[in-house]
Structure 1
Amino acid sequence: MIQEIYFEDYQIGDTRQTLGRTITEADIVLHAGHTGDFFPHHMDAQWCKTQPFKQRIAHGTLTFAVGVGMTATLINPVAMTYGYERLRFPNPVHIGDTINVKVEITEKRDHERKPEFGFVTERLTVTKQDGSVVLVCDHLLLANKKA
């Protein structure tokens, strides 16, 4: 879906929620191949049994990529990603965990040098089925202002 949402249209406190997505062993294996991160925490089930989590954990970058992808439901031609800040992984994601994402508008501010733009901050909170938070970050959007 394509929809123009300008800086002025974003309201602090507005939220949206994604549906769930279950992380599979295939996700972890493919992500390891894409990134070259074959650390045993992700790939060695026997070794992981000797570690605190007792099972393989998804790469943080996999959780980030899937979580962000889950929020991409709208093409907005008047706003784009400027970056991500304050990225944290407070709890692990394991094979078979189902994650979902809450997005909340937490801040708006004018662009310091370009008055035709503003910054919108979306807080992404990724949780898994037991309610524990597995990722939190701020997504910065550069949004056009209305003419």
Structure 2
Amino acid sequence: MTESRQTMSPDRYYEDYAIGDTRKTTGRTITETDFVVHAGHTGDFFPHHMDAEFAKSTPFGQRIAHGTMTFAIGIGLTASEINPKAFTYGYDRLRFPKPVFIGDTLHTQLTISAKEPDPKRDGFGRVVESCRVINQRGETVLACDHILLVERKPAD
């Protein structure tokens, strides 16, 4: 596995990505304010997220984070590397294997897992980053594949 290319120019073409390259974000601790703000933004006030007494009766014994909040924060942490030669095509295979609780600290690890020429767009390739959002206990709380459309190097 190759270590992250954090020192590279942010202008990375398709050819500059290598399968196995990884990078890890900084951490972020989830707060009750995150729950409240996210519920307000989305309208999702389900008791699993907002009602501490109700949540005591669930198998988790406490409130759990919204999956959409976990996604937004976990993916937002990756925005420390902005490449003007690439843009998001979408996300596949999104899963939440473990719950997130107030007080958990999350970071995201990304690994380049696949590359292929884009079949629809000349001059672009698709790069897949396998994303894992991980808590302080080393548990994966979110897994997905992020598909990037990346410009190919201009022909000489």
Please say whether Structure 1 and Structure 2 have the same fold, judged by a TM-score greater than 0.5: yes
What is the CA–CA distance in structure 2 between the aligned matches of 1:29 and 1:75, rounded to whole Å? 29
Cα offset for 1:77? 1.1
Are 1:127 and 2:134 an aligned pair?
Answer: yes
In the TM superposition, residue 74 of structure 1 has moved relative to its aligned partner by: 2.1
Instruction: Tell me the number of residue pairs that the alignment of Structure 1 and Structure 2 aligns.
Output: 146
1:143 to 135, 146, 150: 150
Task: For 2:72 and 2:30, locate their aligned partners in 1 and report how far apart those are by CA, in whole Å.
Answer: 12
- Quote the Cα distance in structure 1 between the aligned partners of 2:28 and 2:121: 38
**How far does the alpha carbon of each residue in 1:39-58 deviate from its partner, in whole angstroms, 9 at most, with x for none?**
00000000111110000000
Matched, 1:35 2:46: no
Q: Which amino acid aligns with 1:123?
A: S
Which residue number in structure 1 is paired with residue 33 of structure 2? Answer: 26
**Larger RCO (CA within 8 A; separation ≥ 6):** 1
Q: 1 CA distance for matches of 2:63 and 2:75?
A: 22
Q: Summarize the alignment of residues 1-147 of structure 1 with structure 2, pairs less than 5 Å apart.
A: 3-147=10-154
TM-score under structure 1 normalisation?
A: 0.97
Greater than 3 Å deviation, 4+ residue runs: none
| Gap regions ≥5 residues in structure 2 | 1-8
SS of corresponding position for 2:80: coil
